[in-house]
């Protein structure tokens, strides 16, 4: 039986059409397959490998931690230096109000924790989310994800969740004194790479503050330099009460976090104590990787690179069939005219050794999320390949 057949037989499948690449190894911007092919990973494992695959600083930190200890105790009991080092560095680059970090293992867990924290802190249960959002596939995150096709098979989900139009002033008065939290992506990812309008975001912040509602920013996809700032909220001058992070945080290791203030986190300490715990959250190897990853991001010119990628992509990807290139930094979407063209371009580029992808809620948008270590030469080559592919397939 081939490896692909074994994969299909024993690994639970989430569709009938997996990409099915058989991975041999991955390094920098490249993924190598067992049949000797090399792909440029232009989606960074969906916005994870921002420093490329196996960045040497991250690998060194992982190896050093392997020689010290792996899991020792459930979350929050023992002092584990990699967690402390990383949390200290992370909070040092965040606004003062975001001074404590709760570590989890994934993006959806970060959102779950944030929602519970907001409910506990406010004593309220009403939640506000946005149409076309994506927050993860566990029940709480799915409850605030704004796409019925994913929600309907799992109803009933959390009650008292209301969905507003993204970038619309309509219904903002739903943010009231009964509301625990507003949860949103400052740049919608799976919804089709849609940045929030600055004035609108400021208005949401104002209404949240006025009504004692916690504003949760899901920066799981946009965080850690992808948009040309360390965090997307910095583009807007709007600070959330809770910031949710994952994906690119630990340089390819699994890790998530929600960050808030010491005062808000008090809510997790009582009634009952230990009311939010996790066995593996903040795993020391992931934490060591995250610390090395963030130090590297802070020491290089990666944010400038993300902005450079945006300028290049917006400059080169023009012409018939292309509606626009949307997004900020290296969190970009190439909006094409039709679903057929989108599919043809992604497939055509795949045959040329270029990994692109869709976003979950849009079938006319090509996701572009290259690693921030990409050279100008490779970037030019890839953008030219995409441009030529659109021209050929129109
Ligand atoms: N929020 C956003 C904005 C995301 O893009 C994702 C993953 N695509 C998630 C949450 C869920 O993260 P995870 O898959 O790590 O649970």
Tokens of 333: 């979407």
Please tell me the predicted confidence (pLDDT) of residue 1. Answer: 86
Tokens matching residue 365: 């948008």
CA 143 / ligand 1 centre spacing (Å): 14
Q: Whose CA is nearest to atom 5 of ligand 1?
A: 221
Pocket test for ligand 1, best of 246, 252, 280, 367 (most atoms within 8 A of CB): 246
Q: What's the pLDDT at 361?
A: 87
221 Cα to the center of ligand 1, angstroms: 7
Domain boundaries, the chain: 3-54+301-393, 57-299
Q: Please tell me the number of Cα atoms within 13 Å of 336 on its side-chain side.
A: 27
pLDDT of the residue at 336: 97
CA 360 to ligand 1: nearest atom: 8
Whether this model's pTM surpasses 0.85: yes
Fold of 57-299: 3.40.640
Q: What is the pLDDT of residue 112?
A: 98
pLDDT of residue 125: 98
pLDDT of residue 233: 98
134 lines ligand 1 (CB under 6 A): yes
- Residue 304's pLDDT is 98
C-beta of 175 in contact with ligand 1 (< 6 A): no
CB-ligand 1 contact for 107 (6 Å cutoff): yes
Cα(89)–Cα(103) distance, rounded to whole angstroms?
14
Ligand 1 neighbour 223 (Cβ under 6 A): no
Q: 138 C-alpha vs ligand 1 centroid, how far in Å?
A: 10
* Ligand 1 nearest-atom number relative to CA 109: 16
Distance from residue 111's CA to the centre of ligand 1 (Å): 9
Give residue 106 CA to ligand 1 midpoint distance, Å.
8
Q: What pLDDT sits at residue 358?
A: 85
Instruction: Give 10-residue mean pLDDT values along the chain (394 residues).
Output: 94 94 98 98 98 98 98 97 98 98 98 98 98 98 97 98 97 97 98 97 98 99 98 98 98 98 97 94 98 98 98 98 98 97 96 94 95 98 98 96
- C-beta 106 within 6 A of ligand 1: yes
The fold of 3-54+301-393 is 3.90.1150
HEC string of 92-124 equals HCCCCCCCEEEEECCHHHHHHHHHHHHHHHHCC
- CA-nearest residue for atom 15, ligand 1, is 107
The rounded distance, in Å, linking the Cα atoms of 81 and 320 is 54
Tokens at residue 219, please?
Answer: 């920066």
The DSSP bridge partners found for residue 39 are 31
Q: Could you tell me the distance, in angstroms and rounded to a whole number, from the CA of residue 123 to the centre of ligand 1?
A: 26
């Amino acid at each position: 039986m081939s490896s692909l057949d074994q994969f299909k037989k024993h690994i639970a499948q989430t569709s009938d059409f997996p990409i099915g690449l058989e991975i041999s190894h991955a390094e920098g911007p490249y993924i190598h397959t067992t049949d000797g092919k090399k792909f440029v990973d232009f989606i960074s494992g969906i916005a994870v490998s921002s420093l490329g695959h196996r960045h040497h600083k991250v690998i060194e930190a992982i190896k050093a931690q392997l020689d010290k200890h792996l899991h020792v105790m459930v979350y929050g009991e023992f002092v584990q230096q990699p967690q402390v080092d990383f949390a200290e560095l992370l909070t040092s680059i965040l606004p003062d109000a975001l001074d404590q970090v709760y570590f989890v293992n994934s993006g959806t867990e970060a959102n779950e924790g944030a929602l519970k924290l907001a409910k506990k802190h406010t004593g309220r249960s009403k939640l506000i989310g946005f149409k076309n959002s994506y927050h993860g596939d566990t029940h709480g995150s799915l409850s605030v994800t704004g796409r019925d096709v994913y929600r309907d098979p799992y109803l009933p989900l959390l009650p008292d969740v209301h969905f507003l139009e993204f970038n619309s002033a309509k219904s903002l008065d739903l943010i009231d004194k009964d509301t625990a939290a507003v949860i949103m992506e400052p740049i919608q990812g799976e919804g089709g790479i849609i940045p929030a309008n600055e004035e609108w975001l400021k208005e949401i912040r104002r209404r949240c503050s006025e009504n004692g509602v916690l504003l949760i920013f899901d920066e799981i996809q946009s965080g850690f330099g992808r948009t040309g700032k360390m965090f997307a909220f910095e583009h807007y001058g709007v600070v959330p009460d809770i910031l949710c992070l994952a994906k690119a945080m630990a340089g390819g290791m699994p890790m998530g976090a929600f960050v808030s203030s010491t005062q808000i986190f008090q809510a997790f300490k009582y009634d009952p104590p230990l009311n939010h715990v996790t066995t593996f959250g903040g795993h020391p190897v992931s934490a060591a990787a995250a610390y090395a990853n963030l130090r590297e991001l802070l020491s290089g010119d990666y944010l400038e690179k993300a902005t450079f990628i945006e300028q290049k992509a917006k400059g080169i990807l023009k012409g018939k069939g292309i509606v626009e290139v949307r997004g900020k930094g290296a969190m970009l979407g190439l909006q094409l005219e039709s679903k057929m063209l989108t599919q043809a371009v992604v497939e055509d580029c795949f045959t040329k050794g270029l990994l692109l992808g869709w976003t979950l809620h849009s079938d006319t948008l090509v996701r572009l999320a290259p690693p921030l270590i990409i050279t100008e030469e490779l970037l030019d080559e890839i953008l030219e390949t995409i441009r030529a592919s659109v021209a050929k397939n129109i």
